[in-house]
Amino acid sequence: MTERTLITKAALRKLPAKADDGTPYCTECRKYGELHRMVANDVTKYLQCEAWSAPTYTEWDRLTHEQMMAGEPCPGCGEELVSIGEAPSWSGKGTMYLTAEEQAARTAAEQAFKERHPYCHAGRWSMAGSAVSHCGRCCPPSPMSPDQIRRISQILQGSAEELVRKARREGTNYERHESERRLPGRARPVAVVLREYNERRAEALAAGKGEDRALMRSSFPDAELMFRWRMQLGCGDIVEILTFGDDRPPTDMTWSWGGSPLRKGAYICTTHRSPETPYQAVSRYLTRSTLDLEGDERLRRDPETVGYWTVKLECGHLDHQITPLDWKPADGHRQTEPNDPDEVARRKARMEQIKEHLGVAEYAHAIRQIEQGHLDPDPMTTCWTCQYEQPIVAFQRVGWLVPPTPVKGRSGADTPVAPRPTRVQLEKRVADLEAEIARLKQQ
């Protein structure tokens, strides 16, 4: 690791506090003469230093709960996660209550952390009963147990369901949305939609076993909690969807397709797609599995096992990329071909000969690879989700999948309606009225 040196106060005053676009620089790194932007966390939007606070680990680095309980060390720093011995006597105490021996042990643990992470200024975390602190930048978070996942799911789902049931009972006061309008055509029959939903829900719950059933309920809530919408996409198609509750219009939600989140206010249309699959830069490598490739004699390629990464692209979508089996994001991208001017010119000339057989995006990507010297793995990859994604241009509220039962006493419309009288009752009533009229005329 490169040694860092504090700069003088005079030199610090000459450094800008913000970038040209207004993004603040990290105050901690400015003390060393380095200008690193403060970027938003993907989850909380909390600003953190892009160099020494943003996480460097991937989802692939995280341990399973079984691995952690078996005693495997932290993948980031190599220290313990679950303490085998007794918990240190100073953990959980305030510093003013520590004995001299406890204070010395605590200081030693603090010094050991600083030696492991001398320049990191991310948050810290530790496991109960352990004297070791872990770095929020280098150390993947500890996994939750299946019981913790189940309990948290029940708490969150129970609170959300109660809010939706309250909205059904009391009604929702909608604010007119700029994209809300009556769409052409008619909604599908509610009986058909309800039957299809209940069939899918029953299949999903039947497939889940034990604790999985609690998690399944969050994906397939009770039918009475689902609200129906019709949406018009940018391609002109109109689709129907169901949402949990009626408080958020479809344009304010982030949908997913094939495990990849879409852009906010967008949806998928499988009948209309862009003519070319666009290329997007890889912004982060998430998880890795392996893939066995068959050999090809014509291409003189032997069978091999490669890494199969799930990657997050700059467009926000998730896709996959093949890498060498032992490659890690920290290894960077290796140049495999020379990119001197003469070689680049020759390769571009050969590419120009087949340009008419390539799409615009494919040709531009090939030229980019030549200029970069064919980096491995490629820092860009195709995004199939972009090809099918369409913006939601308008929506229409259809109503609850199971219409709510009117509550007595809320309004005149809720008053019970008397049953229609029979023909015999009407004839008797007419006869009684005629007799009453005749009696009045005789008086």
pLDDT digits (tens, 9 = 90+) for 162-186: 888 888 887 777 777 889 999 999 9
Beta bridge partners of 47: 40
Same domain for 220 and 189: yes
* 423 domain residue, yes or no: no
Whether 390 is covered by a domain: the verdict is no
| CB within 8 Å of 426: residues ≥ 6 apart | none
Q: Could you tell me if 284 and 298 are in contact, meaning their C-beta atoms sit under 8 angstroms apart? A: no
Question: How many structural domains comprise the chain?
Answer: 5
> Which residues have a Cβ under 8 Å from the Cβ of 145 and sit 6 or more positions away?
65
Cα 279 to Cα 154: distance, rounded to the nearest angstrom: 40
Residue 350, both tokens: 């050969």
pLDDT of residue 412: 46
Q: What is the pLDDT along the chain (443 residues), one digit of tens a residue?
A: 557 889 999 999 999 999 888 889 999 999 999 998 888 876 566 788 888 887 878 777 888 888 888 888 998 888 888 876 777 887 777 888 889 998 998 899 899 999 898 888 888 888 887 888 999 888 999 888 888 877 777 776 777 788 888 888 877 777 778 899 999 999 999 999 999 999 998 888 787 655 456 666 677 888 999 999 999 999 999 999 999 988 889 999 999 988 889 999 999 998 988 888 899 999 888 888 888 888 777 777 788 899 999 999 999 999 999 999 888 888 889 988 887 888 889 888 988 888 888 889 999 999 999 888 889 999 999 999 999 999 999 999 999 999 887 655 555 444 455 566 777 777 788 788 777 777 766 65
Residue 158 falls within a domain, yes or no? no
293-326 in b/e form (b: 16+ CB < 10 A) is eeeeeeeeeeeeeebbbbbbbebbbbbebebeee
pLDDT score, position 415: 47
- 159 occurs within a structural domain: no
Last residue of a domain, one of 214, 246, 268: 268
Report yes or no on 243 lying in a domain: yes
Residues 348 and 328 in one domain: no
Q: Annotate 352-362 with b (16+ C-beta within 10 A) or e (fewer).
A: eeeeeeeeeeb
Final residue belonging to a domain, choices 268, 298, 313: 268
pLDDT at 408: 57
Residue where a domain stops, chosen among 77, 107, 135: 135
Establish if 438 belongs to a structural domain.
no
Closest among 220, 244, 250, 253 to 167, alpha carbons compared? 244
User: Domain containing 363: what range?
Assistant: 335-376
Residues 67 and 129 in one domain: yes
Residue 179 in contact with residue 393, Cβ under 8 Å? Answer: yes
Q: For residue 83, is it within any domain?
A: yes
pLDDT at 407: 58
Contact indicator for 227, 246 with CB cutoff of 8 Å: yes
**66 and 115 housed in the same domain:** yes
Same domain, 202 and 264: yes
**How high is the pLDDT of residue 269?**
94
- Per-residue model confidence (pLDDT) at position 213: 60
Strand partners, 285: 311
Distance CA(76)–CA(387), nearest Å, equals 37
Same-domain status, 184 and 260: yes
For residues 252 and 261, what is the distance between their CA atoms, to the nearest angstrom? 14
Burial label, 271 (beta-carbon count in 10 A; 0-12, 13-18, 19+)? exposed
**Structure tokens that stand for 129 in this block:** 């009963």
Selection from 143, 138, 140, 136 nearest residue 64 by Cα = 143
Please write the tens of the pLDDT for every residue from 64-86.
Answer: 888 888 888 998 888 888 876 77
Query: What does the radius of gyration of the chain's CA atoms come to, in whole angstroms?
Result: 32
Among 291, 299, 300, 301, which residue's Cα sits nearest to residue 322? 291
